[in-house]
Structure 1
């Protein structure tokens, strides 16, 4: 098996106490969100919706960066920056736990072990109703992921969390109690100060912003037996690359998940051949290429082709279901 791509020098060994590009970005995002919500009544919807979607998606990218230990050496400061629930529906602490679990690369795409997998085991697929199967299959193409994906992802996540809390998960209950307090502050600002109702905020900010984030996650992983071949790269994406904080270079991010977003392109450039050799050339020429290939065509089938992803160690791992 091809070894995981690494370089001999640690690119973050001289990490500063404060990463100013990320801290400044956080101030820009929160300031822009405050401005858009406060002045929303003065902005035409044709401009407000894309700007609002950008800020919610950008905030999601910022949270992803914070999960990986940025922008300071102090965990409390970082978590305070990421805690603010602008998207409302996912607690930062839950997102952090799920995403770090996703970074167990030997389990990438596994429908049971990878919380961010869109694949299903054949047993779970067989249990779905015809309507649920139709909704899942609709999301195998990018158009369906953008239209149906936010509602599906949010509803399924909230149902899973409610089920855990009803089952006596005290940790989840505590996380949600703190998260709802944060939501109360956000909603107080929206309603009492800005005059924005919950449904209006969900329609203008949250749903489009979540859809925008789903563009990034749509084709970044694919079920394969080899670990390295499961993670894609999207080159030539200056605008969406900025929105996703260079996470479009996804194989590079998985190779060095603690590398700050503004250093990732240079590291990728220096290690491009190694990364592409390891991932089998799973490369897209910008998101226009992703749209061209998969806007109405499926990226992959919903059922994991191997039942469960092998561990990639060469020993076979868990057998396919």
Structure 2
């Protein structure tokens, strides 16, 4: 298995990822500490970039990087710069998302933006209108963060209120992390938490929604559900080359800095496997979907058919890394 082979490699620490983590935390600390010296037009894009970059780093760490020791990796990923998303919840839901045979399923894929016909009807007219607006890239960028964060927190609150011990422990640990972040922001940096949410968190979530907007599409064959965005420019670095999403799903244990080279070497096979679901760039995604929906909100099968056979992978490996 590929993930087992990676664990046997001589590399114990992936230093490019360690350096990236130190850069992200250092940039975040500097931006928040010196926020008053920066004009808002500069603070917002820089703050959004750093918090979104941290989200990409967390995604990388979920897949077993940059060390062999999970506790070390978790410590690197744990600080909740976004405030709203507990790392452990992200880790669990994202690994569930990597069951490729269930990709886009509105019930089994935690990262699916599709709806079952029954859930769609329960939304009501206002809810359906909000979802339709988010079917366009512009709507996703403007409304998407409030919608995603709000629905996530509501679902988590229901688990906590229902007495789920696991949810309560998870949120207790997260609350400790949030308290540390807020102490730094308020007591050390003098930042109003509302300013931090508006200038850092909300636009950072919008940036990450650019990546997820067109990376999956409902299809009968699992391999044809995952897209590729080539020539990503600076966004490629922001997303740690997860824009090459079909390559990431084929090799989830591959570190971010090796992904472009592996993609170039295997491009023909990947494109053949995913049915040519390739966008030339994010400008191409914008041109196609800024004001037009990426797909219908209701899943074409209601749910992904459980008996659909998964095609042979490019290389045999588990759906998650280590």
- Structure 1 residue 167, shift from structure 2 partner: 1.3
Segments of 4+ moved more than 4 angstroms:
9-13
1:254, distance to aligned residue in structure 2 (A): 0.2
| Contact kept in structure 1, 2:220 and 2:308, CA below 8 Å | no
SS of 1:129's partner is helix
Distance 2:8 2:294 in 1: 38
The offset of 1:314, in angstroms, is 3.5
1:53 pairs, out of 48, 51, 74, with: 48
1:10: how far off?
6.0
In structure 2, the residue matched to 1:274 is 269
TM-score, normalised by the number of residues in structure 2: 0.93
CA–CA distance in structure 2, aligned partners of residues 110 and 15 of structure 1? 38
Moved more, 128-137 or 146-155: 128-137
Q: Distance in 1 between matches of 2:131 and 2:246?
A: 26
Whole-angstrom CA distance in 1 between matches of 2:290 and 2:10:
40
1:228 is aligned, of 213, 223, 227, to 223
For residue 63 of structure 1, the aligned residue among 58, 65, 72 is 58
The runs of 5 or more residues in structure 2 that have no matched partner are 311-322
Q: Partner residue of 1:206? A: 201
RMSD across aligned positions (CA):
1.6
Change (3 A) 1:54 1:15: farther
Partner secondary structure for residue 279 of structure 2: strand
State how far apart, in whole Å, the 2-side matches of 1:312 and 1:262 are.
Answer: 36
Q: Which residue of 2 aligns with 1:183?
A: 178
CA contact (8 A) 2:33 2:189 kept: yes
TM-score (norm 1): 0.94
Structure 2 CA distance for partners of 1:227 and 1:312, relative to 1, 3 Å: farther
Inter-partner Cα distance in structure 2 for 1:92 and 1:119: 24
Find the counterpart in structure 2 of residue 98 from structure 1.
93
Contact 1:52-1:205 within 8 A present in 2 as well? yes
Aligned to 1:114: 109
The CA distance in 2 between the partners of 1:150 and 1:201, in whole Å, is 15
Alignment-derived partner of residue 3 in structure 1: none
Aligned to 1:161: 156
Aligned to 1:291: 286
Please give the per-residue CA displacement for 1:219-277, whole angstroms capped at 9, x wherever unaligned. 00000000000000000012100000000000000001010000001111111000000
Q: Distance in 2 between matches of 1:90 and 1:247?
A: 20
| Alignment gaps of 5+ in structure 1 | 1-5, 316-321
Q: 1 CA distance for matches of 2:11 and 2:198?
A: 39
Which residue of 1 is the match for residue 26 of structure 2?
A: 31
CA distance in 1, matches of 2:150, 2:77: 22
1:73 aligns with 2:64: no
CA distance in structure 1 between the aligned counterparts of 2:11 and 2:133, rounded to whole angstroms: 45
Distance of 2:39 and 2:7 partners within structure 1: 43
